Structure 1
């Protein structure tokens, strides 16, 4: 993890060194080990260095090539170095003495603007090409490394790893992007390019950008293939291939000149990363792996120690702990907003904040985690929908009955979620023959009355759909959102476009592809980067490996859900690596209880103060009457807190606090 920044004047004005130096200074937390700038007339590049890999210890950026016609600044870890070594013209040194930025620069010299297609790893970089008089920029496939920019046609182009650096240059406006606020309040976050600031953009993942005298040109160099199907000869073959790819995904993220830690929660994903990393380090004769875990002494329903200890009992670890009840959702926001540039915080944001804080206190620089293994591998529950549409009711019933005990839900509840909606859709489409066949199958396998199925899932849905259509015409906006705000930004139209373009997925592959390509994933990865950068750390996510994602997406659905077990291919693959109690655990612990306790007890003074007299800056966005009603319900609900109420209050309060802190132009 490092910091990059740059200025390109498009009107031939020379770069003001002072502005670039300010950009470098404000991102000091991203790279305390070294800083430098390079300026030539109307172009300037800057860099902040955090030493992480062995090669970074000798890396000097910005880097000018031998002929002096190319200059690069980069925040990058390149993982296919051995492969590139055979393809590129590189300095005559051992691979251990060649830096990642040199690999990128050599790739550009060979393949030009196509070079990101040949790179594997996490990267954001910019290359000034003197001959072309162009600035070429690119961001990695998943968007692990951030890249933000500001562009004023015929005047200036600025870029940086964090938005705050862009504001160091005069005349860059800080105007609030109200559409982004609406996306946050409606939990859509579909747009990968916009930010919370109207004139600041993010380069989307897997995109390249060129700035020259004719303007800014952006294109995608890679997209996740939703059509590829993988067919191997056996379950064992799928498991072996998963183990091979996953092990390599972990291994390339262990390249470090310093000790490494993992965030061990006790879940399947973090445990998998931790166990594989420990084995790889032990094989290389390296020291034990640090683990950092959040534990709970009072709110015991959130505590994962039985699973954490099952991993630690295997040996080879140096464990560290964070006590989850000692921190709360709103407590550190004044510190966080010094670094966090956007207002859109999730209710679990304070867990990585505290884990990273402990990591810095321990003198660590690199932390691995199990971030979003759920999405990468896929639980495969949409296979239930897939089976129904294929007419495989018997297999559907078998999977439902097997899945229920693993997740502590009744077969009737699973049927309610996956089987009965299919019946209702058939009724709405007037497909009565298929409806009758579905009723018979459900009656046969689950014993539900055919008459009740006809009444409640055939006739009533038709009446309900008419009522819903009428109500949609009456309702102008979601309850939390101020109706005037919704009308001003034409929120209904925006939501309708999203609804029309996002039909519920009918297959596991469709569902997984949508999850992996949504804008929310991009934003969350950027937030993970900033929460690490606050403490001069680099967060590495083995499950966000391009090779692993492509492999898992191409798997048959039964490799994801089989005999009631989600992510079956991963469970098989890690046999003998994971402790059995982790390998075969069903769901994961819900941390809602700690969030609610923190909000209503530890943060109650902040919450009450906000609700009583500090909501004025969000009245134009929020229906304050609805918010106050939700607040009254929340504080009087006891143990029956509504998720909808707590989330509405969380969104409103954090937005108000962020606007107070940042003083953004509304």
Structure 2
């Protein structure tokens, strides 16, 4: 967790240190362990540093080396592999910083370097020799990157509020984004609630030369055709455990106490138990856990959400230092509006804010989170649709019976929701919506958007443009899983979580969102 920012002028203007300092001050909450700026002629970079990893304690930002200058909010997890491949052997590994690794990767592989990096990152590299700015954001969009670009200037930052330190950046409402928000449409990944202020999408790089020619490239994407096959359930379990243990282990790298969310669910519980095991094995400190509880809720409401009995089973294990947060007493609406800069789709965000604040009080800076185990592993419901669509009836009956027993749902309800509706009702619904679109009688789906306003911003046409490349009907569980992971919802959620964690000097890490 750190803050990055920079400005690149194309009209002959020089980068002004006082403007860069204003941007730094605006992002002060993102890094209290160091702040600096670098500027030369028409370009300036800056950084707010928050120490988290052992190597971050010796980081110098912005780092200038071999005609390159970098500012980065980054944690590189495949350090050993890259140090070997890049032949960085002039120092012990623990003396090599992540920014040095990124710069060496850029020197060796150029603009293809993000393909080689595993971890969470957003960075900008200024190539003085080529007069080119190169930026990149990690595959899942864990680290944020916002920018404004005009014929005269390019300015970027970890948070939108820092962009407004420059008078050239307008504060104009993006009405189309408002309509998207009310429709809960998260597929569009580049726009913000401000006109002409954009986010660099996840798994994308951006390059900008001295002629103001901008190019955005995709360096990674999910491969829905890739399939891993083993001979038995045991082999699948062992393969998953190997990947999951590594995903947790590489996120434990910290110079400070490590914490983890702990609800009664499988996601956070599995991460907590695995982290506890790995920390004990390495002889490191105890793992802190943070749980939200609601003891003052009326009994008739509490019985539907109270997970304390499941939490307590995990808390009873050795090697954990547990903390409970009274989430029923939290109400930080004004703080949330300031920190997140835009309307959000996370009504329970205040709970995480309370957990982060508690973690900060315990000296924790690295915080493991179970987002989003359900979607990563997949809910599996679409597999029932696939079995019916492909005529594998005996397998369908077997799976429906198993789901019915496990989830205590009636077989009739399961068949209706995951077989009849997807195969027979949804196709006609999509056909009706298509007919409405071509006859110009379509209305906003959720009814929250005024019809005249929707027509003004061309809402349905804009939505259709975004989703045109996506298949309307998916009867393959693999395709459905891929589509759910490729949605713009993930970067949106990650940006919200990042800003919330930054307020408490916390770096949130997500073992379920590892990519390879």
TM-score over 0.5 (shorter chain): yes
CA shift, 1:39, in A, is 0.8
SS at the partner of 1:176? coil
SS at the partner of 1:265? coil
CA shift, 1:534, in A, is 1.3
The one of 205, 208, 219 aligned to 2:205: 208
1:54-85 alpha-carbon deviations (Å, 9 max, x no partner): 011111100011x3x11111100000111011
> Matched residues in 1 for 2:513 and 2:99: separation?
21
1:174-218 alpha-carbon deviations (Å, 9 max, x no partner): 111111111111111111111111111111111111111232111
Aligned to 1:537: 506
Describe how 1:206-355 pairs up with structure 2 within 5 A: 206-214=203-211, 215-297=213-295, 298=297, 299-327=302-330, 331-355=331-355
Describe how 1:50-449 pairs up with structure 2 within 5 A: 50-65=50-65, 67=66, 69-90=67-88, 92-153=90-151, 155-214=152-211, 215-297=213-295, 298=297, 299-327=302-330, 331-421=331-421, 424=424
Does 2:495 align with 1:492? no
C-alpha contact (below 8 Å) 1:7/1:15 kept by paired residues: yes
> Matched residues in 2 for 1:543 and 1:174: separation?
36
> Matched residues in 2 for 1:499 and 1:127: separation?
33
1:76-103 alpha-carbon deviations (Å, 9 max, x no partner): 0000111011111426111001100000
TM-score calculated relative to the size of structure 1: 0.74
CA shift, 1:407, in A, is 2.1
1:518-571 alpha-carbon deviations (Å, 9 max, x no partner): 111110011111110111111100111103xxxxxxxxxxxxxxxxxxxxxxxx
C-alpha contact (below 8 Å) 1:476/1:487 kept by paired residues: no
TM-score calculated relative to the size of structure 2: 0.94
SS at the partner of 1:358? helix
CA shift, 1:300, in A, is 3.2
Aligned to 1:16: 16
C-alpha contact (below 8 Å) 2:433/2:442 kept by paired residues: no
Aligned to 2:46: 46
C-alpha contact (below 8 Å) 1:7/1:158 kept by paired residues: yes
C-alpha contact (below 8 Å) 1:122/1:140 kept by paired residues: yes
State which structure, 1 or 2, has the greater radius of gyration over its C-alpha atoms.
1
1:393-443 alpha-carbon deviations (Å, 9 max, x no partner): 1211111111023223211100111222356269x7xxxxxxxxxxxxxxx
C-alpha contact (below 8 Å) 2:7/2:155 kept by paired residues: yes
CA shift, 1:159, in A, is 0.7
Q: Which runs of 5+ in 1 are unaligned?
A: 429-460, 548-666
CA shift, 1:381, in A, is 1.2
CA shift, 1:468, in A, is 10
C-alpha contact (below 8 Å) 2:137/2:145 kept by paired residues: yes
Aligned to 1:567: none
CA shift, 1:504, in A, is 3.1
> Matched residues in 2 for 1:40 and 1:242: separation?
49
Aligned to 1:481: 449
* Range moving further from structure 2, 475-484 or 43-52: 475-484
> Matched residues in 2 for 1:465 and 1:12: separation?
55
Residues 475 and 136 of structure 1: CA distance in aligned 2, closer, same or farther (over 3 Å): closer
Describe how 1:580-595 pairs up with structure 2 within 5 A: none
Residues 346 and 113 of structure 1: CA distance in aligned 2, closer, same or farther (over 3 Å): same
C-alpha contact (below 8 Å) 1:89/1:106 kept by paired residues: no
Aligned to 2:29: 29
SS at the partner of 1:112? helix
SS at the partner of 2:7? strand
C-alpha contact (below 8 Å) 1:148/1:200 kept by paired residues: yes
Residues 470 and 94 of structure 1: CA distance in aligned 2, closer, same or farther (over 3 Å): closer
> Matched residues in 2 for 1:102 and 1:218: separation?
24
* Range moving further from structure 2, 96-105 or 4-13: 4-13
C-alpha contact (below 8 Å) 2:385/2:423 kept by paired residues: no
> Matched residues in 1 for 2:433 and 2:34: separation?
64
> Matched residues in 1 for 2:98 and 2:433: separation?
60
C-alpha contact (below 8 Å) 1:123/1:140 kept by paired residues: yes
CA shift, 1:467, in A, is 11
Does 2:515 align with 1:517? no
CA shift, 1:307, in A, is 1.1
> Matched residues in 1 for 2:350 and 2:436: separation?
42
Q: Which runs of 5+ in 2 are unaligned?
A: none
C-alpha contact (below 8 Å) 2:389/2:423 kept by paired residues: no
C-alpha contact (below 8 Å) 1:192/1:202 kept by paired residues: yes
CA shift, 1:316, in A, is 1.2
1:8-53 alpha-carbon deviations (Å, 9 max, x no partner): 1112311111100000111001000100001111111100000000
> Matched residues in 2 for 1:293 and 1:206: separation?
32
> Matched residues in 2 for 1:42 and 1:470: separation?
52
Detail structure 1 runs of 4+ shifted over 6 Å in the superposition: 464-468
SS at the partner of 1:338? helix
More helix by share: 1
C-alpha contact (below 8 Å) 2:47/2:72 kept by paired residues: yes
Aligned to 1:580: none
